[in-house]
């Protein structure tokens, strides 16, 4: 039986360097989008939050045909919080396309994803993207990429990589460094992939071994297992054995009834998949990431996928506020736990654990963005929950407590460099590199305890009027750094239930920054703003104007409320203190004290 030759390749890069846009261009260039189809930008970012945030969260696959060869493309996230997705994607492929922005050059996440690819011995094709930018520095960026390979101790054959210059947005490419002609297409890139990326290894005649690296769900087929055939041939209608990665459960023997492969952006039913190819299988509701589908007569499980451990944890609990149950569909701890267990099945970098209270579940992850994306997904699905402030996971090294270190790279206008250094100094951070740019912007690299960078992003955005770009990733462990400053002001806490009034808020806005406007329902213990002083303030935001027949000019002036600070899920999680919670429902984000009644809080403080 003749088989179409194929290649497996992952696109890896720092966030926002153009991976998903390049996938779009490759799909267009190879005719996956027909002339009558509407073209959608960033078609691989199909998740709502991916399109809103402009980042890739989940690794996804598609396939294209070029010169008689099928190329399986895996698009990966560029954000460090979703590194688990990158690691899983690299188990599917035999080479990588490393994208680098022609102006920014290699960034922290470029180093991270490339180190993972080199650790697996994968050859690379380097794509310098956005070469039409007026501030592009092609020759320097090419040198920086070579230097990055040297820094990561790449072997000689890995350093001999081809370079392709592209304008991915317009589907133009040229071999080497340069600006593609206006009538150029992606042929140089696609030809280079076929020449550089090796065909998959593996013996199609060996006993079957197929590794499950991802899960999906279908309304019609149930749970779907996605992965790569490592050895042998997977045939529809034959008996296979599902070997679990935890070795505790007995293997399951079952007939393979539904076998699919990637065809363009679709999944098409196929008869077989040979060693090295990617598959999608239905009919195994028990399958988990890391499991092996093996030969029925000689089942040999493959080693499980190893990924970096979580560094942050927070608690997810049942919403206990007086407004609970009004806005969501899923309210109980059982429903929240079931949802989190489903998340863990498909997300290898999230862990869940128990706490002394059955109503509260501990969730650990790679970073605050990853945890915020999970909470936002649950909100949109109709869950109500309350979550705590993230805290770092402490690790004992040589008998002493160590905490995770984050490396952050901040891209700011020159006039705000001082703001970055002043903001990070009290957080026990240090600037390790300062690189002035050519366009009035500078790149500041700093290292700080992960605790110190909680809330740093929103503080920086405020201080630089939204002009800063910040990317951070895990950079090892350091001895416990002691107490760190959190926020400067105390909480303004409502002392009763009711609706806020403009009259009350007019007085309160002079004592701090408000989080809500007039006509909003509040309850006792709910936080309505940040006080200008460090102490907490218990206030009445529902107070109305006294209706008397005495009139004075000053008291009758129109109330002028300043715009209040709109708390997003991320800013709320970063802002709260240890004794506070974020209440997340499908329609609202509120912050509150753990103990709603003032007398209970006083007693707890005395204890």
The tens digit of pLDDT for each residue in 290-339 reads 788 888 888 888 887 766 678 889 999 999 999 988 888 988 999 999 98
- pLDDT at 251 (0 to 100): 77
Q: Packing angle between helix 108-119 and helix 83-90, nearest 10 degrees?
A: 30
Token pair of 147 as six digits: 């230097």
Per-residue pLDDT tens digits for 576-601:
888 899 999 999 899 999 998 888 88
pTM: 0.68
- pLDDT at 430 (0 to 100): 87
pLDDT confidence bin for 248, thresholds 50/70/90: low
User: What is the set of domains in the chain, with CATH numbers?
Assistant: 6-196 (3.40.50.300), 209-295 (2.40.30.10), 395-479 (3.30.70.240), 491-606 (2.40.50.250)
- pLDDT at 15 (0 to 100): 66
Which residues are paired to 8 by β-bridges?
Answer: 72
Per-residue pLDDT tens digits for 84-120:
567 777 888 889 988 888 888 887 677 777 888 888 8
Q: Packing angle between helix 108-119 and helix 138-151, nearest 10 degrees?
A: 50
- Read off the pLDDT of each residue in 161-177 and give the average, rounded to a whole number: 88
The C-alpha atoms of residue 273 and residue 6 are separated, in whole angstroms, by 11
The C-alpha atoms of residue 136 and residue 123 are separated, in whole angstroms, by 26
What's the 3-state SS for 281-295? EECCCCCCCCCEEEE
Which residues are paired to 374 by β-bridges?
Answer: none
- pLDDT at 524 (0 to 100): 92
pLDDT value at 47 more than 70:
no
The C-alpha atoms of residue 302 and residue 325 are separated, in whole angstroms, by 46
- Read off the pLDDT of each residue in 45-72 and give the average, rounded to a whole number: 60
What does the chain come to in residues? Answer: 607
Per-residue pLDDT tens digits for 177-193:
888 888 888 888 889 98
- pLDDT at 306 (0 to 100): 65
pLDDT value at 65 more than 60:
yes
Q: Dihedral sign, CA of 594, 598, 599, 605? A: positive
pLDDT value at 34 more than 70:
no
Q: Which residues contact 90 (CB under 8 A, 6 or more apart)?
A: 10, 12, 76, 96, 116, 117, 120, 122
pLDDT value at 27 more than 90:
no
Token pair of 276 as six digits: 């090295």
- pLDDT at 298 (0 to 100): 82
The C-alpha atoms of residue 286 and residue 493 are separated, in whole angstroms, by 48
pLDDT value at 381 more than 80:
yes
Q: Work out the number of other CB atoms within 10 angstroms of the CB of residue 103.
A: 21
Beta-strand pair 124-129/95-101: parallel
- pLDDT at 362 (0 to 100): 93
Q: Packing angle between helix 19-29 and helix 187-196, nearest 10 degrees?
A: 100
Token pair of 501 as six digits: 């009034």
- pLDDT at 554 (0 to 100): 56
- pLDDT at 13 (0 to 100): 80
- pLDDT at 275 (0 to 100): 86
- Read off the pLDDT of each residue in 510-534 and give the average, rounded to a whole number: 90
The C-alpha atoms of residue 369 and residue 456 are separated, in whole angstroms, by 13
Q: Dihedral sign, CA of 216, 221, 225, 230? A: negative
pLDDT confidence bin for 249, thresholds 50/70/90: low
Strand order, beta sheet including 60-66: 60-66, 69-75, 6-13, 95-101, 124-129, 163-167, 172-175
Q: Which residues contact 361 (CB under 8 A, 6 or more apart)?
A: 315, 316, 317, 333, 336, 337, 340, 352, 353, 354, 355
CA distances from 179 to 96, 129, 141, 144, 186 (A): 22, 10, 14, 19, 13
pLDDT value at 58 more than 60:
no
pLDDT value at 122 more than 60:
yes
pLDDT value at 35 more than 70:
no
Per-residue pLDDT tens digits for 189-242:
889 988 888 888 878 888 888 888 877 766 677 777 888 888 888 888 888 888
The C-alpha atoms of residue 45 and residue 85 are separated, in whole angstroms, by 14
DSSP 512-550: EEES--TT-EE-TTEEEEEESSSS-EEE-TTPPPP--S-
Token pair of 583 as six digits: 């209440």
- pLDDT at 18 (0 to 100): 75
- Read off the pLDDT of each residue in 388-397 and give the average, rounded to a whole number: 88
- Find the range with the poorest average confidence among 386-400, 461-475, 488-502, 574-588: 461-475
- pLDDT at 40 (0 to 100): 42
Residue with tokens 């050059």: 105
pLDDT value at 605 more than 90:
no
Token pair of 413 as six digits: 């206008």
Strand order, beta sheet including 222-231: 252-255, 239-243, 292-295, 209-218, 222-231, 278-282, 258-263, 266-269
Buried b (16+ CB within 10 A) or exposed e, 236-264: beeebbbbbbeeeeebeeeebebbbbbbb
pLDDT confidence bin for 361, thresholds 50/70/90: very high
pLDDT > 70 fraction of the chain, expressed in percent and rounded = 87
Q: Which residues contact 29 (CB under 8 A, 6 or more apart)?
A: 64, 171, 185, 186, 187, 190
Q: Work out the number of other CB atoms within 10 angstroms of the CB of residue 270.
A: 17
The C-alpha atoms of residue 227 and residue 222 are separated, in whole angstroms, by 16
Rg of the chain, C-alpha, whole Å: 27
- pLDDT at 247 (0 to 100): 60
Q: Which residues contact 492 (CB under 8 A, 6 or more apart)?
A: 508, 511, 512, 514, 527, 528, 529, 530, 531, 536, 537, 539, 541
- Read off the pLDDT of each residue in 549-573 and give the average, rounded to a whole number: 73
- pLDDT at 219 (0 to 100): 65
The C-alpha atoms of residue 315 and residue 353 are separated, in whole angstroms, by 9
- pLDDT at 246 (0 to 100): 56
Q: Dihedral sign, CA of 461, 464, 469, 474? A: negative
- pLDDT at 59 (0 to 100): 43
CA distances from 589 to 359, 552, 570 (A): 20, 39, 10
Token pair of 585 as six digits: 């429902």
- Read off the pLDDT of each residue in 247-267 and give the average, rounded to a whole number: 77
Which residues are paired to 226 by β-bridges?
Answer: 214, 280
- pLDDT at 106 (0 to 100): 82
Choice between 344 and 603, residue whose per-residue pLDDT is larger: 603
Computed over every residue of the chain, the mean pLDDT equals 81
Choice between 560 and 541, residue whose per-residue pLDDT is larger: 541
- pLDDT at 53 (0 to 100): 44
């Amino acid at each position: 039986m003749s088989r179409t030759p194929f290649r497996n390749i992952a696109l890896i890069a720092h966030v926002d360097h153009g991976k998903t846009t390049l996938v779009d261009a490759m799909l267009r260039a190879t005719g996956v989008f027909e002339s009558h189809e509407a073209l959608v930008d960033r078609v691989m970012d199909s998740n709502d939050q991916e399109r809103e945030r402009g980042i890739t969260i989940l690794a996804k696959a598609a396939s294209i045909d070029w010169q008689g060869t099928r190329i399986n493309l895996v698009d990966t996230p560029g954000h460090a919080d979703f590194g688990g997705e990158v690691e899983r994607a690299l188990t599917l492929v035999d080479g990588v396309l490393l994208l680098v922005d022609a102006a920014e050059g290699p960034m922290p996440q470029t180093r991270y994803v490339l180190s993972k690819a080199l650790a697996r011995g994968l050859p690379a094709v380097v794509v310098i993207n956005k070469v039409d930018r007026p501030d592009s520095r092609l020759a320097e960026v090419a040198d920086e990429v070579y230097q990055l390979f040297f820094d990561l101790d790449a072997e000689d054959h890995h350093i001999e990589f081809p370079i392709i210059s592209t304008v991915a947005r317009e589907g133009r490419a040229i071999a080497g460094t340069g600006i593609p002609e206006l009538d150029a297409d992606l042929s140089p890139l696609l030809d280079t992939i076929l020449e550089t990326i090796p065909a998959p290894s593996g013996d199609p005649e060996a006993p079957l071994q197929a590794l499950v690296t991802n899960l999906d769900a279908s309304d019609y087929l149930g749970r779907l297992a996605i992965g790569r055939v490592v050895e042998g041939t997977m045939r529809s209608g034959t008996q296979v054995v599902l070997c679990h990665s935890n070795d505790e459960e007995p293997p399951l023997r079952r007939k393979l009834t539904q076998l699919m492969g990637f065809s363009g952006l679709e999944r098409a039913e196929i008869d077989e998949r040979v060693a090295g190819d990617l598959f999608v299988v239905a009919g195994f509701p028990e399958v988990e990431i890391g499991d092996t589908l093996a030969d029925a007569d000689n089942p040999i499980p493959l080693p499980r996928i190893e990924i970096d451990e979580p560094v942050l944890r927070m608690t997810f609990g049942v919403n206990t506020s007086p407004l609970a149950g009004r806005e969501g569909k899923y309210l109980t701890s059982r429903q929240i736990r079931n949802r989190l267990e489903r998340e863990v099945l498909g997300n290898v970098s999230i862990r869940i654990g128990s706490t002394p209270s059955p109503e509260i579940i501990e969730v650990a992850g790679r970073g605050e963005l990853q945890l915020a994306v999970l909470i936002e997904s649950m909100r949109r699905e109709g869950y109500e929950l309350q979550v705590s402030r993230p805290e770092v996971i402490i690790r004992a090294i040589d008998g002493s407590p160590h905490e995770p270190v984050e490396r952050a790279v901040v891209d700011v206008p020159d006039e705000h460099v001082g703001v970055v250094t002043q903001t990070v100094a009290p957080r026990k951070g240090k600037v390790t590199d300062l690189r002035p740019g050519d366009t009035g912007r500078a790149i500041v690299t700093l290292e700080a305890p992960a605790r110190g960078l909680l809330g740093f992003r929103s503080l920086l955005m405020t201080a630089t009027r939204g002009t800063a770009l910040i990317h951070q990733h895990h950079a090892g462990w350091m001895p416990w750094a002691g107490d760190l400053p959190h926020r400067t002001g105390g909480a303004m806490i409502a002392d009763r239930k009711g609706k806020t009034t403009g009259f009350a808020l007019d007085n309160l806005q002079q004592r701090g920054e408000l989080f809500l406007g007039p006509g909003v329902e509040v309850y006792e213990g709910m936080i309505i703003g940040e006080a200008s002083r460090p102490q907490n303030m218990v206030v009445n935001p529902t107070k109305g104007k006294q209706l008397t027949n005495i009139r004075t000019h000053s008291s009758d002036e129109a109330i002028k409320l300043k715009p209040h600070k709109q708390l997003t899920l991320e800013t709320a999680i970063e802002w709260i203190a240890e004794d506070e919670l974020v209440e997340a429902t499908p329609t609202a984000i509120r912050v509150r004290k753990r103990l709603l009644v003032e007398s209970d809080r006083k007693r707890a403080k005395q204890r």
